[in-house]
Structure 1
Amino acid sequence: MRGRFLTAIAIRIEVDTPDASFFAALDEKIRSAANLMVGAPILLDFEKVPGFASRDHLGELVRAIRAKGLLLFGVQNATPEQQALAEEFGLIQVLVGRDTPVQQARAVSPRRSRLVAQPGNKVIHRHVRSGQLVVAERGDLTIIGSVASGAEVLASGNIHIYGTLRGRAMAGVEGDTNARIFCSKLEAELLAIAGLFKTSETIHPDLRRCNVQAFLEDETLHIERLV
C-alpha cells in the first residue's frame, strides 16, 4: 500500500435549495477553468448549509453535476444526516486537513513532542519535470529550478520556486491560510492556497513572466509582483 496526495476540487454549497443561478454560476466556473475541473475528483462541501437534508434536492444536485462531466465522488463538512443521504448516492465522507480526527492519543515526553513538532521542510535541487509530483507534507517546499507544465508541487506550508513555474503549485494544502507561493517567473497553469485557486485563464497578463508572490486576503487569492 502506498499513500499519496490527491488533488480534489470542492464545490461549496451555500443555499439549501440550489437553483438556476447556482447551476449558471457552476457552468461559468467550468467554462473558465475547464482544464482544472473536467476530469478532476469533485467534492461537495456542506459547511455553510448544515440544514441541507433533502433527498430530492441532493439527488437533483448529484445528477446535474455528473451530467456536466464532473467526477463527483464525495462530501466534506457534512452532518451525520447529510452523510447518510450522501451514501445513498454513492458519495463518501472525506475528512481533510484540520478536520481529520486523531486516531489514537498517547502521552509523549516533552523531548518526543518537540521532535514531532519539527517541520518537514523540503528542498529540491533540480527541475520538476512534466508528470512529476513533489510534496512537502509538513512544512515549506523550495524548488531550486523550474516546474514544467503538467507537473505539480504541493506543500502544507509555503512554496518557493527559484525558476519558472509552468505547472501547478498548491500551498497550505492542510488549510493554512497564511501560506504563500513565491516564484521567479510566473507562467503557471494553476496557483492554489488552502483550497482557493486561480487558473492560467484568470491570471492577469501583466503578472505573467514576472517575479511574484501569491497570498490570501479576505478569502481571495491575490498575486502581486515583487521588485
Structure 2
Amino acid sequence: MLGRMTDELPFVIKADREGFLLIVNGKTPLPHVLEALRTKLEESKAFFQKSKMILDLHQRPFDPEEVGAVRALMEQAAGVELAEVRVSCEDGAFSRWAAGLLGVKIRLGTERDKDTGASDSQANPHDASPPLVVRQTCRSGTRIESPAELVILGDVNPGAEIIASGDIVVFGTLRGVAHAGAQGDREARIWALHIEPQQLRIADLVALPPRGRKPKPKRYEVAEVKGDLIQVVSY
C-alpha cells in the first residue's frame, strides 16, 4: 500500500489482483487530488508505466467530470489505463451508465460486496434485461417504452413520453412525461441533469412540477419515492 488513508491524504494506492487500486478521499477537493496524483505518478513513473488502475469511489460521490479528469491525468503522466470504476450501490443507474459513456467498466456495490463477490445483477433486479439506450433528444410526440431501464442520451422535450419498468436516466433536461417502475416498482428512480417535467410517475404514484423557477443542481437530480410521495433531490 502506498500510504494509509486519513482525512489529510487525498488518496491511497494499493495493489489489486486486477492492477492498482486508487482510493480517493471523499473530503479532498478535486484539484488537490489531481495535483497529488500527478506528483505521485511522475515521481514513480517507471513503476506505474503502462499499468492498469481501478478507481475506487466508495468514499466519494460519483461525478463523470471528475472521472474524466483523473483518467486524462493518469494517461498523460504515466500512460496508466483506467480499467474500472467502483462505486457504492446507492449511486445506482446514473453512475453505471455515466461511466459507460466514458468507456470505462463500472462495478456497483458496497465495500462489503467487494469481499463477498456480490454482482450487479444481485443488486438490481432489472439487470436481467438490457437497458434501452436512445442516443438522441426525444421530441414532442415521441413515446418510448423499455421493459428494463431506459437511458436517454439527450433531452426529453415537452410533449414526449418515456416509460420504463426500471430506472430512467436522462443525460439532459427532462421536460416531458417520465414514468419509471411502470410494472409497479416503487424503488425505481428517475435521474436527469435537470428535472423540469410536465409529469413524473413512479409505479402508481404521480407528481406534477411545482410552480415557479427552481435553482439548477450542481450535477444532477433524482426523483424517488419517499413515503407515498415522489420527491426530487438535487445533487
TM-score, normalised with respect to structure 1: 0.44
Query: Which of the pair has the greater relative contact order for Cα pairs under 8 Å at 6+ separation?
Result: 1
Normalised to the residue count of structure 2, the TM-score between the two structures is 0.43
